[in-house]
Amino acid sequence: MSTAVAASSVLPAPAALAVLSEPVLVTPAGPWDTVRRELAEHASVVLYAQLGDWLPESQQDEGESAQAEADSALAPLLGRDFERYRGMTNQDVRARFLASRLLLKYAAGAVLEARPADIDLAYKPGGRPYLRGCDQVDISLSHTADLLVVGVTRRGWIGVDAELDSRRLQGSAVERQICTPHETELISRIDPRRRNSTLVRLWTLKEAYSKAIGQGLRFRFTEFGFAPGAQRMQVLRPDGTPGAGDEWSFRTWTVAGDYTVSVALFDFGFGDTADIAAQTMLDEGMVDALLREARRAESHRRTTP
């Protein structure tokens, strides 16, 4: 268990998520056995990573020849995301996109017991990533500054979000755009020294919830809320009355000393799928088709000038 992660002391963990372990720090080398074990035991796992650990050394070299060589090696890993990546001109955006997609591919490959290059990462209309052909597993991605976060569940929907603890929200226009009247009243009673950290936590919880339901920023944050200081975190209507039931669970951590990370988890109530290996979840014909397509794309890439 990483000492870089500390459970939030603001609120106790909800009972439904009490067994969810702290986020696991991962690099391309793993520890993937730990990730698989956490998912097997708890049905959900949250991973975090440092941006630099997921950038190939040649990508950090500004030489054009080095980047061209690296791009050639990355094409089979990024798959359908490669052209999007190659078309990016902002180097910071390009690096964050690359690192986050590699993390998603490696994480999905680990839990599905498949090669990262064989994972077919696709996107829903709102931009939410999903694993094509593997509906039993839900994923979520967040990144800010040098931190990357991925959530994986085999029980329902998951959303994760991360934000720098130092981000100033108190007194800003953002505060007015994210708080319901009930939240504003509750925050006004909090020690002024803790109000900004409370707002950052609320922001990440709302982002995580919106991602879990597939709405992202399209869902106005003033239309739902949470209660800072509540014994159990739950979704509330703007007036503070309950807006969701026990099928939703939430938890927040401080990660790597500088970031607030929140997770929202929706449990369908059907139990979970213990065996989520790709070869088990997909019928044999679908597995063969996906692998043939991956080999065909790789062959085409190698023979195309």
Look up the pTM and report it: 0.81
Q: What is the mean pLDDT of residues 213-241?
A: 86
Q: What pLDDT score was predicted for residue 299?
A: 57
Q: What pLDDT score was predicted for residue 283?
A: 43
Q: What pLDDT score was predicted for residue 58?
A: 55
What percent of the chain lies above the pLDDT cut of 70?
78
Fold of the 167-249 domain: Ribosomal Protein L22; Chain A (3.90.470)
| CA pair distance 226, 234, nearest whole angstrom | 6
Q: What pLDDT score was predicted for residue 214?
A: 87
Q: What pLDDT score was predicted for residue 279?
A: 45
Residue 145 has pLDDT above 90, yes or no: yes
Q: What pLDDT score was predicted for residue 215?
A: 76
| CA pair distance 111, 40, nearest whole angstrom | 9
Residue 273 has pLDDT above 80, yes or no: no
| CA pair distance 158, 95, nearest whole angstrom | 25
Q: What pLDDT score was predicted for residue 228?
A: 87
Assign 110 to helix, strand or coil: helix
What residue ranges do the domains of the chain occupy?
A: 5-162+269-303, 167-249
Q: What pLDDT score was predicted for residue 2?
A: 42
Q: Does the domain made of 5-162+269-303 have the CATH classification 3.90.470.20? A: yes
Fold match between domain 5-162+269-303 and domain 167-249: yes
Q: What is the mean pLDDT of residues 57-82?
A: 76
Q: What pLDDT score was predicted for residue 127?
A: 86
